[in-house]
Structure 1
């Protein structure tokens, strides 16, 4: 009897009654959300510079990672430029990179990019001259800009073995930690060039705390100074020796067995990664204190302290082999953000309504890239969609989040409510693989990327806002793949104009009520329809 009562209670608590509070059930599943989680490793091969199509990342492989129990959505791509120590990067290499980016986009992934000239220690120079590196960065600029939508971050490689800025065998850059002021200046020229020649949407990551502090000072980021266009706000970290000796092999200033937790370097990195991505890998077991730092529970603890977003699943096996199933599950779920929708409340006043959302971020970190949060209102009779922007910055969603906002959409009808958190880039916004899913049961719509609030609102009177436009035009189906139908509450013909997401006019048509518009040849993305006689207002539809 108790089990039956509980079952009925859970059903009733999620029935969408207008004006009620809905409580949601948290999910225990691993979720394939964008820009977070375990990352997979890949490297360009020896014939990448000589053979078109060689060693590209196959879409099938990427899909297999995403559909695995790990739900991977981020790949680390290591581009070896050893063939170009004394020459410019050739077109074959650049074309192969573009194929990689195309495949990454097709599979719904993001990519961490690093360039290096050596992946094994040696006695010769581990990189070209500074002048040649700067030329390579200039060559890569347009490729990175054109594919900024799928680039998670660009790591400051180019210098040293593995691109980690330590073993260089170079008089220009210094080596093995012995670096003069002039050599630091040469290194800074490389970072400055990367910052100048990559879009501001792409964070730059450096290997050691000392790199950022030496070049750009020790002033820490604050909510007021984060997310700006300067170097301090754009430079994050990757740690390829997480939890190991010597302060994670130089990530922090520490002796072999000094635990860096709580040191100034550690606290500095912990603060910066509130606003910037923290990624990397383990590289073996810590030999101090019976390996305490690399044990599972401490690993999880430190991932939280330093806001880890992604971690390499393919290295180091000694670390992964000593993690138990429960610890592994926590790592999978807690890397990056994990948003749980606790409750929503709708209070309607005829023409407008208040929406209150209570959300918890139970993950290690906040999203580090900007994205908008939309309220989707779907008319239950016509399936036409109205979209409204929430006044919130998802990059501030930490711990408990409460949002209350009034909506006066200027339309009538009964509407099902959803939350939509698409990618900011227009090429990805309509792809649900790049939309954020709440960690809740029974709310996710994979086809649209919407999170169903299980709420309806009845708007039975019109406010003044948008009256003439909204009352005269509606669109359905939305999203659409082949056609949209335009519904007018008028017998007169209207001229409409359709614009793409960058404001280019793509179609003009004169329509009557319930006319269909063929959109089958439109590129997938967001479009806006305007009435010629009222161009200041528009309705949005999504082409699948």
Structure 2
């Protein structure tokens, strides 16, 4: 900075060329239930009969959605079941399509996301459970634009359209077969529906199928890996929903088992889904208490174990009530709610400053049941404490790989001096939601969340200063140089010939330990000094001071 008639470079620390300043913060984890996006308990909702006849009928209300989010369960996901029973023989009308748009608008206004499923029948019977394949394909093409318009708030798109509840079991259809009797041609017809869904659904939205054999039959049983996941392929895009979690008959068809009471854990289907859901969503609900083992499988403790094994992201809170009553009675409810999906806890951060750049080390634990499955960028927000200006720097990490303990080490060279506060920001990747803190991820720590911005405060404040050479310290147009720095014995002091005042040396406690009469160049012995940092000062000058490190 400059002042009239003088150039002053203040607090020029010569030893910055060789010494690094490190500071570490350890964090306290929080046990609070957090309203984080794309995870947790989901609320159930279904369209009514007048959804097809009156715009605004049966739309989700913003106030109800906000109540769910702000309530004790911190719900951020709503399951929206679009019942298309009015269109078994016709295209979806504009009233129905407009109501879908209204629902999506309200979900976005409330700061939630949605899991969607389209189906034609909500009860078993002898009547058709879905239209013809041709009509279904037309319906899928009709909703394609709406899905694209709202891809920012759609968490997943479940493969409904076929069978009662859209679960692909009971179809009463020669085109699609029924569970236990599906021909190769009927499987091909089913696959044509899923292929059409993949084409109509934006690539950032995963699909979900009801049971393991659907994906294995149509797309093979080669398991996903870190190298094949997150691609625009059918295998990388199709996850699972389990609407009979922990029930008998292998969660009622989710897994192939030998008999009603056989446990699915450890079977090939179970292992397949456990692997796929490392990279893809697992959601659903319980639909009854498993009586085969005196209720052990549907106990809260076992629910926690199996949610962890199969990487559960969300589960329906509204069904099945006796299951949830048992979970509450066993004091496992809050652990389930906390751990559904991801739960990131910051363990520590360490900052090492060197001139205008610094190294940041982060240790983060994921104590949730699952990894996040949608791409999100992670940023370091560097805020100037004087101007409040923010520099946004991308952190080189893929949050989808954060499992157990993750360590991040990265250098940041922002090229400017000043004092800065550091924040971690994990926003939604979609530009429409990025600046909305409702869609940013809050770390499960105490005293770090900044709700207005959606930033996580690292509780780190750093000062960056430029490095200067031995001739670069200017004090009222007079030069002072000390070298080598650091040193263990001899030190050379070089001063401008105009300096007449004594040079004072202070220790880190501010105690004067030595005075030196100024000579143009002189060498002094500092071997007798204790190791540490010392300050050089000219006379009574309060303008600046130099630092020496004694080894």
Band of TM-score, shorter chain: 0.7 to 0.9
1:54 aligns with 2:57: yes
* Residue of 381, 384, 387 corresponding to 2:389: 384
Structure 2 counterpart of 1:182: 185
What root-mean-square deviation, in Å, do the aligned CA atoms of Structure 1 and Structure 2 show? Answer: 1.0
1:454 corresponds to: 459
Q: SS state of the match for residue 199, structure 1? A: coil
Deviation at 1:29, TM superposition (A): 0.4
Q: Which residue of 2 aligns with 1:275?
A: 279
Residue 262 (structure 2) pairs with residue 266 (structure 1):
no
Residue matched to 2:39: 36
User: How many Å separate the matches in 2 of 1:414 and 1:192?
Assistant: 54
Asked whether the 8 Å contact 1:278–1:309 carries over to 2, the reply is yes
Alignment of 1:124-139 (within 5 A): 124-139=127-142
The CA distance in 2 between the partners of 1:370 and 1:260, in whole Å, is 31
Show the 5 A alignment for 1:61-460.
Answer: 61-254=64-257, 255-323=259-327, 324=329, 326-460=331-465
Contact 2:43 2:77 in 1 (8 A): yes
Secondary structure at the counterpart of residue 270 of structure 2? helix
Cα distance in 2 for partners of 1:283, 1:294 equals: 10
Task: Confirm or deny: 8 A CA contact 2:88 2:131 kept in the other structure.
Answer: yes
CA deviation map 1:173-214 (0-9, x unaligned)? 001321000000000000000001111000000001000000
SS in 1 for 2:152: helix
Deviations 1:48-83 (A, max 9, x none): 000010000000000000111100000000000000
C-alpha separation between the residues in 2 aligned to 1:295 and 1:459? 55
Q: Distance in 1 between matches of 2:290 and 2:405?
A: 35
Q: Distance in 2 between matches of 1:363 and 1:404?
A: 23
Give the TM-score normalised by the residue count of structure 2. 0.80
* Greater RCO structure (CA 8 Å; 6+ sep): 2
The answer for the alignment partner of 2:500 in structure 1 is: none
Distance 1:46 1:325 in 2: 39
Contiguous gaps of at least 5 residues in structure 1: 1-17, 464-544
Please give the alpha-carbon distance, in whole angstroms, between the structure 1 residues aligned to 2:336 and 2:252: 22
Q: Is the 8 A contact 1:412 1:462 kept in 2?
A: no
Distance in 1 (alpha carbons) for counterparts of 2:374 and 2:133: 31
SS of equivalent to 1:236: strand
1:325, 1:425 → 2: CA distance? 40
2:523 is matched with none
The 3-state SS of whatever aligns with 1:194 is helix
Paired with 2:467 and 2:335, the residues of 1 have a C-alpha distance of 48
Match of 2:529 in 1: none
Matches of 1:25 and 1:291, distance apart in 2: 37
Q: Give distance in 2, aligned partners of 1:62 and 1:256.
A: 39
* Offset from partner CA, 1:93-140 (integer Å, 9 cap, x none): 000000100000001100000000000111011000000000000000
Matched position secondary structure for 1:322: helix
Partner of 2:533: none
CA distances 1:403-431 after superposition (whole Å, capped 9, x unpaired): 00000011211110000000000000000
Checking the alignment, whether the CA contact within 8 Å between 2:300 and 2:330 is kept in structure 1 is no
Q: CA offsets per residue over residues 280-300 of structure 1, 9 Å max, x none?
A: 000010010111100110011
Shift of 1:318: 1.5
Aligned partners of 1:410 and 1:462 also within 8 Å: no
TM-score (norm 1): 0.81
**Cα distance, 1:462 vs structure 2:** 8.2
- The question of whether the paired residues in 2 share the 8 Å contact of 1:19 and 1:457 is answered with no
Tell me how far 1:326 sits from its aligned partner: 2.5
| SS of the residue 2:444 aligns to | coil
Counterpart CA distance in 2 for 1:448 and 1:409 is: 22
Please state whether the residue corresponding to 2:52 is helix, strand or coil: coil
Q: Please tell me whether Structure 1 or Structure 2 has the larger radius of gyration of its CA atoms.
A: 2
Q: How many residues align?
A: 446
**Post-superposition offset of 1:325:** 5.9
Is the contact made by 1:411 and 1:462 (CA closer than 8 Å) also made in structure 2? Answer: no
Partner of 1:474: none
Q: CA deviation at 1:350?
A: 1.0
The CA distance in 2 between the partners of 1:126 and 1:304, in whole Å, is 34
Q: Deviations over 1:227-285 (max 9, x none)?
A: 00000000000000000000000000012000000111100000000000000000010
